[in-house]
Structure 1
Amino acid sequence: MKAQDFIDKILPSLLPLLFTLGMYKLIRKGVNINWILLGTVAFGLFASALGLL
């Protein structure tokens, strides 16, 4: 069972909401958009390799 499926049973759309709020907070702190994008892609590749996504 993937993490998203388990969390969706508890509270649907929690992970996308937390992700969006996290990105908003990083943008408000002045983090460069390119670093945010690179970090998001790197996290996606890493989580996919571990079977989390």
Structure 2
Amino acid sequence: MTSVRTAQLLNNGLRLVGQDLKDVLSALANSINPSIEKQILYIMIDRANTGEWLANVGKK
């Protein structure tokens, strides 16, 4: 997961940013535990103009 440079646990969700989609998805999977899983409202994956991958998980 060397390409994931940002992993923030926010009050309303989780945000990850990285260059490699596979690393971002792996970090996302490793960051979600059973208590967070029950609160997930959405998961959004997007590619920024800079080429970085953004993963956002919104909680209920």
TM-score, structure 1 normalization = 0.31
TM-score calculated relative to the size of structure 2: 0.30
> Which has the higher relative contact order, 1 or 2, with Cα contacts under 8 A spaced 6 or more apart?
1
Name the one with the larger helix percent.
1
More strand by share: 2
